[in-house]
C-alpha cells in the first residue's frame, strides 16, 4: 500500500476517500513541523498540503515522495523546481476555492457598504447610532473586475442579482465570453474611472507586481472602493496610501506578504482586513480535499496529469523550441493594441516538431496570458483557451514548403468584432539560437528575438528609418542592430531595432505618430 501524509487541517473526506479506495494508507495530523513528521513517515509516497511551506529541505526529508498535492490553487509555498529535480510531481486543485473567494468579495462589499463591523461594535456598547452608520446600496452600481478568470467570472455571476453594471479587463478573454457572463470589456484606465467597486483577480508576477498604482488610483472616483482578495503585491501600498488621503478611497483586503501573525503593512489603510479567509469555508475545504484525493487516484491509475504544475517537456523535444513558441507568441501579442481581445489562435508546426504540437501550445498560452504556468500540460492550455472564449486550431502543414523544424503562429483579434486584425509570425532555431524569419508579409527577417526590441510597421517612404534613428539617438539610446525590409507589395516597411536599453512608452508613441506607423511597440525579451 502507498502511504499518504496529510499534515494539515483538511476535510477528512480525503483520508476517507483514499482509504476506501483500498490502495492507500493515510496518516493525517495537523502540524507545522514537516521535518519532525518525516522522522516517522519518511517513507511517504504522497503528501497533501494546504498552505504549509514545502522547501527543498522538506522534500529531501521524504526520500520516497513521488506526488505532492496542494489542496488549493496557489502553490507559491512549494519549491516546485526542486521537486522536479527530485522527480516529485506537484499538483494543485484549481477551482476548489473559487466560489468561496467570489462570495468573500461580495461579503466584503456588503459589510463595508452597510458599515456592519463598526455598527456591530457600537451596538454592543449600548449605543444607537443609526445616523452615523448611514450606508449605501450595491444595486445599480458599477463593478470593475480586474481579471476575468474563473474567480472573476464567478464574482460577476454572484453579483448579477444586484442588477449591477460589470466592467472587466482581461487581455485573454473574448468579447463573446465576457458578454456571456454579463461583463463589458474596457481598458484598465476606463475600468478604474467608472467603477464604484473594483475587485482584483490577477496573479502576482513580474508583469503585475505593483500594477495597481498611482496612475490607476488617479483615475478612480472619490469614495470608490477597491477589494483585494488576489495577491498583496499587485498593489503599490504607498500609492494607495496617498490616494486614500486625496480621494477617500475605501480599501478592503484579505491578502498579505506573509500569512502569519504580526503587524501588517496595510493596517493603516485597510478599512476592513481579514486573515486571508478567501478559501476558509467548509465547502471549499471539502472540495479541495475531494479534488486532491481524486487527482491522486486518477494520476496513479489512469495517468491523468493535467493538474501537474511542474511538468517537464516530453522526451525528445529540444527546450529551445518551447522557448521559441513562447517568444513568438510574446512578439505576436505585442503587435496588437492593449485593448485588443484575442478571438482565434492558429498554429502550424513544421518538420519533426509536428509530433510535439500540443506540447508547444503550453508556452504559447503562457506567453499570451500572464500567470498561466508554463509547466502545465496541453489539456490545461486548451481548457484555458476554451474558458476565455478563444478558438484554437492546429493546422495541417505542407512539408513541401521546406520550412524545416519551424513554428508559425497566427493571432486574430481586435477591440471589437468590427475591428479585427491579424498578426502572423514564423520562427525556428538555428545553431542553438532563436530566429524570427517572418512577421506578416515581411520575409527573410532572420533576427534573434532577444534583449530590447523596438518595432514599427509604417507606410513605405524615404527617410523614415533615419527619422526613427534620430529620435532614438536624441533619447540617448544606442542601436545595436536593425532589420528594415519592405513588404512583398512594396507599400509598407518594418523597422526592427535592437537597442541597448528600455524605450519609454512616450517615445514609442511620438515616433509612431511622426512616421504614421500602423504598429509600434517596445518589448524586452
CATH value at residue 493: 3.30.70.260
Position 197 in a domain: yes
Angle at 206 between CA 203 and CA 209, to 5 degrees: 60
Same domain, yes or no: 91 and 33: yes
Alpha carbon of 323 to those of 18, 360, 381, 455, 456: distances in Å? 39, 9, 16, 20, 24
Mean pLDDT calculated for residue range 43-60:
94
pLDDT of residue 418: 66
pLDDT of residue 153: 94
Same domain, yes or no: 126 and 215: yes
Band the pLDDT of 260: cuts 50, 70, 90: confident
Band the pLDDT of 374: cuts 50, 70, 90: low
Same domain, yes or no: 337 and 192: no
pLDDT of residue 315 exceeding 70, the answer is no
Position 307 in a domain: no
pLDDT of residue 297: 93
For 323-355, write each residue's pLDDT tens digit.
899 999 999 998 887 677 888 999 999 998 998
The answer to whether 52 and 8 are in contact (CB under 8 A) is: yes
Lowest model confidence (mean pLDDT) among 183-197, 298-312, 420-434: 298-312
Same domain, yes or no: 245 and 152: yes
Number of domains in the chain: 4
pLDDT of residue 273 exceeding 90, the answer is yes
For 378-393, write each residue's pLDDT tens digit.
888 888 898 888 999 9
Position 497 in a domain: yes
pLDDT of residue 384: 87
Q: Using CB atoms within 10 A of its CB, is residue 246 exposed (0-12), middle (13-18) or buried (19+)?
A: exposed
For 406-440, write each residue's pLDDT tens digit.
999 999 987 776 677 889 999 999 988 999 999 99
Q: Cell 513554428 identifies what position?
A: 407
User: Model-level pTM?
Assistant: 0.68
Strand duo 421-430 + 433-439: pairing: antiparallel
Phi and psi at 416, nearest 5°, equal: -150, 170
The rounded percent of the chain whose pLDDT value lies above 70 is 98
What's the rounded Cα separation, in Å, for the pair 469 and 498? 11
CATH value at residue 66: 3.40.50.720
**Residue of higher predicted confidence among 36 and 420:** 36
Domain that holds residue 59: 2-96+283-302
Same domain, yes or no: 363 and 431: yes
Same domain, yes or no: 392 and 473: no
Q: Cell 512608452 identifies what position?
A: 505
Position 278 in a domain: no
**Mean pLDDT taken over the chain:** 91
Alpha carbon of 517 to those of 135, 164, 287, 409, 499: distances in Å? 51, 40, 52, 23, 19
For 63-113, write each residue's pLDDT tens digit.
999 999 999 887 878 998 899 889 899 999 888 889 999 999 999 999 999
Same domain, yes or no: 75 and 106: no
What's the rounded Cα separation, in Å, for the pair 177 and 428? 33
Amino acid at each position: 500500500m502507498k502511504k499518504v501524509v496529510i499534515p494539515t487541517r483538511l476535510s477528512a473526506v480525503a483520508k476517507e476517500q483514499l482509504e476506501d479506495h483500498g490502495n492507500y494508507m493515510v496518516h493525517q495530523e495537523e502540524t507545522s513541523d514537516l521535518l519532525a513528521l518525516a522522522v516517522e513517515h519518511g517513507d511517504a509516497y504522497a503528501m497533501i498540503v494546504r498552505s504549509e511551506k514545502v522547501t527543498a529541505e522538506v522534500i529531501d526529508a521524504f526520500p520516497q515522495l513521488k506526488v505532492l498535492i496542494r489542496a488549493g490553487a496557489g502553490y507559491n509555498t512549494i519549491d516546485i523546481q526542486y521537486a522536479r529535480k527530485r522527480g516529485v510531481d506537484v499538483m494543485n486543485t484549481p477551482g476548489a476555492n473559487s466560489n468561496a473567494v467570489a462570495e468573500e468579495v461580495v461579503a466584503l462589499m456588503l459589510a463595508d457598504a452597510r458599515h456592519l463591523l463598526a455598527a456591530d461594535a457600537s451596538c454592543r456598547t449600548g449605543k444607537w447610532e443609526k445616523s452615523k452608520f448611514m450606508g449605501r446600496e450595491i444595486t445599480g452600481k458599477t463593478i470593475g473586475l480586474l481579471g476575468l478568470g474563473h474567480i472573476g467570472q464567478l464574482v460577476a455571476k454572484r453579483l448579477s442579482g444586484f442588477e449591477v453594471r460589470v466592467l472587466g479587463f482581461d487581455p485573454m478573454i473574448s468579447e463573446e465570453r465576457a458578454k456571456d457572463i454579463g461583463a463589458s470589456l474596457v481598458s484598465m484606465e476606463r475600468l478604474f474611472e467608472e467603477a464604484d467597486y473594483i475587485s482584483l483577480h490577477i496573479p502576482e508576477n513580474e508583469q503585475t507586481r505593483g500594477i495597481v498604482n498611482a496612475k490607476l488610483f488617479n483615475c478612480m472616483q472619490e469614495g470608490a472602493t477597491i477589494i483585494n482578495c488576489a495577491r498583496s503585491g499587485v498593489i503599490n501600498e504607498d500609492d494607495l496610501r496617498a490616494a486614500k488621503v486625496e480621494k477617500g478611497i475605501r480599501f478592503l483586503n484579505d491578502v498579505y506578504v506573509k500569512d502569519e501573525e504580526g503587524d501588517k503593512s496595510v493596517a493603516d489603510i485597510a478599512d476592513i482586513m481579514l486573515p486571508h479567509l478567501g478559501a476558509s469555508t467548509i465547502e471549499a475545504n471539502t472540495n479541495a480535499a475531494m479534488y486532491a484525493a481524486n487527482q491522486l487516484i486518477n494520476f496513479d491509475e489512469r495517468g491523468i496529469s493535467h493538474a501537474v504544475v511542474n511538468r517537464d517537456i516530453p522526451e525528445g523535444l529540444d527546450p529551445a523550441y518551447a522557448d521559441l513558441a513562447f517568444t513568438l507568441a510574446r512578439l505576436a501579442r505585442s503587435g496588437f493594441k492593449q485593448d485588443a481581445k484575442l478571438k482565434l489562435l492558429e498554429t502550424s508546426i513544421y518538420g519533426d516538431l509536428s509530433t510535439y504540437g500540443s506540447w508547444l501550445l503550453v508556452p504559447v498560452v503562457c506567453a499570451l496570458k500572464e500567470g498561466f504556468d508554463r509547466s502545465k500540460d496541453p489539456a490545461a492550455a486548451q481548457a484555458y483557451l476554451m474558458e476565455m472564449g478563444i478558438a484554437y486550431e492546429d493546422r495541417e502543414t505542407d512539408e513541401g514548403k521546406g520550412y524545416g523544424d519551424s513554428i508559425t503562429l497566427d493571432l486574430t483579434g481586435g477591440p471589437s468584432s468590427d475591428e479585427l486584425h491579424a498578426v502572423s509570425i514564423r520562427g525556428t532555431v538555428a545553431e542553438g539560437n532563436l530566429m524570427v524569419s517572418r512577421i506578416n508579409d515581411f520575409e527573410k527577417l532572420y533576427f534573434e528575438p532577444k534583449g530590447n526590441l523596438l518595432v514599427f510597421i509604417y507606410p513605405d517612404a524615404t527617410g523614415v528609418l533615419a527619422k526613427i534613428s534620430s529620435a532614438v539617438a536624441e533619447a540617448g539610446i544606442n542601436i545595436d542592430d536593425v532589420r528594415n525590409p519592405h513588404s512583398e507589395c512594396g507599400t509598407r516597411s518594418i523597422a526592427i531595432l535592437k537597442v541597448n536599453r528600455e524605450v519609454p512608452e512616450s517615445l514609442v508613441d511620438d515616433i509612431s505618430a511622426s512616421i504614421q506607423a500602423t504598429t509600434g511597440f517596445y518589448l524586452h525579451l
